[in-house]
Structure 1
Amino acid sequence: MRPVGKLIIIGGAVNKGSFAETDYDQNIEKNLNFFETGILRKIITESKNKENSIIEVVTTASQIPQIVGTEYKKAFEFLGAKNVNILDISNREQANSDAIVARANAADVVMFTGGDQLRLTSILGGTRFHDTILLKYTEQDFIYSGTSAGAAAASENMIYQGSSTEAMLKGEIKITQGLGLIDNVIVDTHFVQRGRMGRLFQAVVNNPRTLGIGLGEDTGLFIHNDTMTAVGSGLVILVDGRFIKDTNLTNINLGEPISIDNMVVHVMSMNDTYDLKTKDLTIVNSQYSSSIQN
């Protein structure tokens, strides 16, 4: 069944965040980047009640939850949001509590911050809070948004470990279950800046049905009705393994380099769309579209 809700997953902020700058109050306009002015605004405009939506900023993945939570609260409120709360769930008992479930049920948006995606899934996975989020996303006009760890954890399976430099050595990439909001994809973040192409290559060659999604910083995807739309100032990289012709994956030992023949890679930028059903990419500013129509 196609979910009623929407996903907005983000590759991470360009830096710690413009709302952490010391001159926040004096020169706020100079501090803003597209992460605030575009992507966070997109969350508000796509939410059920716009500026009046109840937004819960979930800081579970972070080791500095109050600092990170306050930063996002300031950012959303600067953009006009009136009901922004910080939800710091630090253990599974909290995630199963009536109070936390009630807040999840009341929310129009949950925004998962960056940090450690394994911390996020190990605390929230299989709890009443997790079940509530999944049900709301499936059945209601509800937004799950996540940046960095929050984005990586959105899919059924997620990368939680693996260095960029050794990513194409068999066994170097570690994958576990995510929060399960979207199937048949795997998401990596800070993608261009940290050179993580090899991590997605290995994740996809392990199961070519999986679409690899690499999100650059200050960049995200808006996913609704089986369509992914790129938002932000950077790039989204898609790795499609369906047409792989050959690999040495099962004939090499752990730690040896992987060979792949005919891996397909797409690059998306602002407003480009990708249909998850037909597997078609549409480039909005295509240099060929006018000649095709003529």
Structure 2
Amino acid sequence: MDSGKLLIIGGKEEKCKTGDILNAFVELSKEREGAIGILPTASSIPDEVSAAYVDVFKKLGVGEVEVISVDSREKADDPVILNTVSGLAALFITGGDQKRLSDCIRNTKLHAQLTDMWKSGLLIGGTSAGASIMGEDMIIYSEMKNNDEERLLIEMGKGFGFEKNLLIDQHFSQRARFGRLIGAIAENNELVGIGIDENTAILVKGDQFEVIGEHQVFVIDGKNGSLVDFIRSENGGEELTITDFKLHALTKGYCFNLTSRKIMKRKEA
């Protein structure tokens, strides 16, 4: 059986009946029997976040919604939780802190179960932190130091690894994250950088994805590029010189092949 689809969302998706992204998630979930699960582990207010998604999914016609409450590694190994997850048609991972999400679930029984279920066809969606977690590697924090030095500090971490070769960043244009993603790819050029704007998503199936939603998706391909120079000034600032990186920008309906690393023809509605 083919692996399931991944709906990877840049954050702040419309939570209403007319929102393209959550409507697409609900329609795709119908390909498999069972409830839609909501995993709010990344959030500092999981009950509030879960309630909002339960409400919107119910308004979109979903009959059964299960909240998967996991706030520790012990719960991620709980047989009751695992049994609930085993009956899902789809799982939606909310936003929040991707490091918290990884710390609670990565390399637990729940992580292994989700990986196996996705490989057997489970639909998994994620927004904001729930988007970043989809890759094997992820950016968990960045900070620009602006006092005596100008230095972008990027902290990397490990995600769930559904897509091994993608490094996903979210809220991309809205939070001006181009610099941090290209910096991360410069030091990890075997990865494909995917920057997803708010209320925008990619639907990944196999080796390609389609863009859904309002704004843009950016692809940074450093496969044939190189980090030429790395300068650290006397005051601690850092600047990169890079060459031969490719940048692609896609809007709604366009597809991208992750093997050939080329834009594909716009998908007609």
TM-score (norm 1): 0.83
Report the equivalent of 2:49. 68
Alignment of 1:1-294 (within 5 A): 4-13=3-12, 18=15, 32=16, 37-49=19-31, 53-138=34-119, 140-163=120-143, 172-249=153-230, 252=232, 255-284=237-266
More strand by share: 2
Partner SS, residue 228 of structure 1: strand
Are residues 49 and 284 of structure 1, via their aligned partners in 2, closer, same or farther at CA, if it must alter by over 3 Å? closer
169-178 or 222-231, larger mean C-alpha shift: 169-178
Secondary structure at the aligned position of 1:162 is classed as: strand
Q: Report the alpha carbon displacement of residue 263 of structure 1 after superposing the two structures with TM.
A: 1.9
Q: CA RMSD in A?
A: 2.2
Please give the alpha-carbon distance, in whole angstroms, between the structure 2 residues aligned to 1:107 and 1:255. Answer: 49
TM-aligned CA distance change 1:263 to 1:53, over 3 Å = same
The runs of 5 or more residues in structure 1 that have no matched partner are 19-31, 287-294
Q: How many residues align?
A: 263
Give the Å deviation of 1:141. 2.0
Shift, 1:243, TM fit:
2.7
Structure 2 residue identity aligned to 1:271 = G
Q: 1 CA distance for matches of 2:167 and 2:267?
A: 27
2: CA distance between counterparts of 1:222 and 1:93?
A: 32
Q: Which structure: greater helix fraction?
A: 1
Which amino acid in 2 is paired with 1:7? L
Identity %: 29
CA contact (8 A) 2:9 2:202 kept: yes
The answer as to whether partners of 2:2 and 2:121 remain within 8 angstroms in 1 is no
**AA at the equivalent of 2:171:** H
How far is 1:171 from its partner?
Answer: 6.7
- The answer as to whether partners of 1:95 and 1:124 remain within 8 angstroms in 2 is yes
Rounded to whole Å, the distance in 1 between the matches of 2:144 and 2:193 is: 15
TM-aligned CA distance change 1:192 to 1:79, over 3 Å: same
Q: Distance in 1 between matches of 2:75 and 2:48?
A: 20
Q: CA 1:72–1:65 in 2, change beyond 3 Å: closer, same or farther?
A: same
User: Per-residue deviation at 1:134?
Assistant: 0.3
Moved over 4 A (4+): 251-254
The alpha-carbon deviation at position 261 of structure 1 amounts to: 1.9
TM-superposed CA distance for 1:38, in Å, is: 0.9
Unaligned runs of 5+ in 2: none
